[in-house]
Chains A and B, each alone.
Chain A
Amino acid sequence: MSNKWVVGLYILPAFLLISIFIFIPLLLSGYYGLMDWDGIGAMKYIGMENYFNAIRDGLFWESALHSFLLALFSTVSLIVYLAISLVLASKIKGSNVLRKIYLIPMLLSSVAIAQLWIKVFNPSNGILNSILAFFGVENPPAWLAEPNVVLYAIFIPILWQYAGFYILIYYAALKNIPESIVEAARIDGATPLQIAYKIKLPLIMGVVKVTIVLAVVGSLKYFDLIYVMTGGGPNGASEVMASYMYKLAFSSNDFGYGSAIGFLLLLITLVVTVIVRKVTASKEELQY
């Protein structure tokens, strides 16, 4: 491995792959953002106009707010996933089966999940409103049709979709903690809560930080379920940054503006990632 050329050759395929499919399109989308372009005809250079328009665009910031709300919800729900993993990892009966059940949503494609939840949320025939009616709720909400409700209704399947993924990560991390440390604490008289909070949690802090970054970044660029379930509607009430970008580029035929929004989305995600890493950074990693 001393030969630098060989090292270069080894990373060449991956480098080409990433450049062609990620970095070059990224730069291109930033470049298209400088154009007045309907995606079909000729491009016209208009400088930073699209970017200035985006910064003044109320709809864009509204969709950004929705994305940040999603990021907040997914980060907070990590606490729940962590609690579930702590229980699962503590050798309770059936934890193996439960772990697999939690993982099922991850095995479904986004579109299948969307179709499933569209049926759950159906205002007249859906299972959710049927249950509510059974318990005597009069006039239950029409989930995906009401501007004040739709965003939160759609968060539920999104969080549900990724629960298994985070539980799996936490579970694996918790299983990595040497039994001897937990044993020692127990002999010293620590309660299970104390063990979880004072010993297990600090030991998997590195993993927790990674999941926070994953949850925030994943939420900010989220697209799938929203696109299939509501298309960002009614009238933008569930629009997020990525669906707004798609709508501009493909429905309004404004590729230049759509590209500019896409590039801003990238910048916002980058900045937020850096901030999240700064905030969660600690001086030293715990060792055992």
Chain B
Amino acid sequence: MIKKKAVTMVFAVISSLLLISGCSGSDDASSSSGKTIEFMHLWPEGSSKQHNEIVKEIVADFEADNPDVKVKLEVMSNEQYKDKIKVLSTSNELPDVGMTWAAGYLEPYVDGKKFAPLDDLLEGDLKDSFVSGIPEAYAIDGSTYGLPLELNIASVFYNKKIFEENGLEVPKTYEEFQSVVKTLAKNDVAPIALGNKDSWTGSLWYMYFADRIGGGDVLTNAINRSGSFTDPALVSAAEEVQSMVDMDAFVKGFNGLSDEEAKSMFMNEQAAMYLIATWDLPNYTTNEDVPQEFRDSVGYFPFPTVDGSGDMSSYVGGPGVGLFVAEDSDVKEEAKEFVSFFVKEWGEKSVTEAGVIPATKVDAASLDLPDMYVNVLDDLNNASNITLFADVQMSADVAQVHLDMIQSLFGKEVSPEEFAEKHEEALSK
């Protein structure tokens, strides 16, 4: 009997000990053979196959060049990534290198001194390699905390086949655009695919109206408080959004659809147009998983002018994800080296292998690229202005109000005036 008791006691003690030690975090023993850079990114094999492979290639190249440094990868999908990075930063366990977004997203991390400034890279190794003005979106108080990888501008993609069947021309003005929408709606074709559950998609429409009616600065000024959301141009932009809704311009139930669902409607030829940024280019050019026939039938046009005003070479867009280096990383120097290496190789490989537009300068002449890709590059080079996505410009709590309000505006639950007031309220806090 006593023996039995002893056994159970030992068991209880061991299991408690296991439990305690399990919670005390793990230290990697691998550090003995050199240094390890932890790198977390958001391109899983399933949904971003090409991106994922490029990362692996770059890491392999880097490890070959630097035999004493290992790169440990951790991959997560977009939303999970955002959650995890926040939890990790709360407990001071950020990876050495990771991905961040610009402006408003970056701010709390910089305020909390979580990211290291990367100015030395910009002035040294990577001098003049970025498209001018783009790294500035990652700058706070004069220092740059992230190096952008992607650059995007939003355009209206359309289905040439559907346009032909309905005898339509690419619209240059808003009046023409409206008549296109009306013809399509009359012929029982859904004019525009929009997944406004993710509301940044609807925000693109609002931003373009604001840009065409009030010019490139009016929204940016309203956000940085040198202007106001009650500006007549911004109010009439909101009015135009609602008049589009009244015309049945968007697919049914857009406020309950995700962007993915809207995209699949466009790609299944159930809707004629789709306003999205150029990160979707591969789907219309090089992606072998999309039928050739469909890729050939997609064209794009810049957002039309509204009531004769607006500059068609002014775009909504901006850099997508960028790389950061953690401030309290043990291998900061190596991490910076890796970031610099990554940005350079990404600039070449992302063009040819993934078909997306990098934030670094592209030498289009020396590469064999799809026509649409070359045209978009031209647009970018000739852009008179790129307004950064509104929800990226704003701090997180204001962005949340903006996105909620966009849904209400499209759902006609608020008037354009209320829409403006709510923004003013949130921004003045």
Contact = CB atoms under 8 A, between A and B. Distances in A.
Interface string A143-172: 111110010000000000000000000000
B47 interface: no
A234 B113 CA distance: 35
Q: Is the interface of B mostly helix, strand, loop or mixed?
A: helix
A39 interface: yes
Contact of B400 (A122, A150, A252): A252
A156 B86 CA distance: 33
B59 interface: no
B397 A254 contact: yes
A251 B395 CA distance: 10
B69 to A, nearest CB: 28
Given A123-B252, A123-B256, A147 B413 contact: yes
Contacts of A206: none
Interface in B232-291: 251-258, 261, 265, 270
Contacts, number: 123
A117 B405 CA distance: 26
Nearest to B87: A39
B12 A10 contact: yes
B90 interface: yes
Contact of A13 (B15, B89, B408): B15
Contacts of A255: 90
B197 A40 contact: no
Contact of A235 (B109, B254, B407): B407
A85 interface: no
Contact of B111 (A41, A250, A252): A41
Interface in A83-136: 118, 121-125
Given A123-B252, A124-B190, A143-B253, A234 B19 contact: no
B422 to A, nearest CB: 11
Interface in A13-67: 13, 16-17, 20, 38-42
Interface in B384-429: 395-397, 400, 404-405, 407-408, 411, 413
A123 B253 contact: yes
Given A38-B108, A124-B190, A144 B404 contact: no
B83 interface: yes
A209 interface: no
B16 interface: yes
A123 B253 CA distance: 6
B197 A230 contact: yes
5 contacts: A39-B108, A142-B252, A145-B254, A147-B413, A253-B108
A247 B82 CA distance: 13
Most chain-B CB neighbours within 10 Å: which of A147, A235, A253?
A: A235
B310 to A, nearest CB: 29
Contacts of A121: 256
B200 to A, nearest CB: 12
A239 B237 CA distance: 28
Contacts of B86: 39-40, 250
Contacts of A262: none
A252 B114 CA distance: 19
Contacts of B5: 6
B408 A40 contact: no
A234 B396 contact: no
Contacts of B60: none
A124 B251 CA distance: 8
Contacts of A38: 108, 111-112, 396
Give the interface size bracket for A toward B.
35 or more
Given A16-B16, A142-B253, A250-B83, 4 more contacts: A6-B5, A40-B86, A41-B114, A122-B253
B367 interface: no
B365 interface: no
A273 to B, nearest CB: 29
A231 B83 CA distance: 15
Given A9-B9, A9-B12, A252-B396, A233 B253 contact: no
Contact of A234 (B108, B111, B112, B255): B255
A9 B20 contact: no
Interface of B: 5, 8-9, 12-13, 15-16, 19-20, 23, 82-83, 86, 89-90, 108-109, 111-114, 190, 196-197, 199, 251-258, 261, 265, 270, 395-397, 400, 404-405, 407-408, 411, 413
A122 B411 contact: no
A142 B411 CA distance: 12
A12 interface: yes
Contacts of B196: 234
Given A10-B8, A40-B90, A234 B256 contact: yes
Contacts of B83: 250
A233 B13 contact: no
A176 to B, nearest CB: 33
Contact of B256 (A6, A145, A251): A145
A72 to B, nearest CB: 24
A230 B108 contact: no
Contacts of A13: 12, 15-16, 19
Nearest to A37: B90
A218 interface: no
Nearest to B83: A250
Nearest to B94: A40
A279 to B, nearest CB: 37
A42 B261 contact: no
A40 B109 contact: yes
Given A13-B15, A13-B16, A251-B400, A233 B197 contact: yes
B411 A40 contact: no
Contacts of A233: 197, 199, 255-256, 404, 407
Contacts of B112: 38, 40-42
Given A16-B20, A147-B411, A147-B413, A40 B252 contact: no
The 6 closest A-B pairs by CB, nearest first: A142-B253, A41-B112, A123-B253, A144-B256, A145-B256, A253-B396
A119 to B, nearest CB: 9
Interface centre among B8, B114, B258 (most CB of A within 10 A): B258
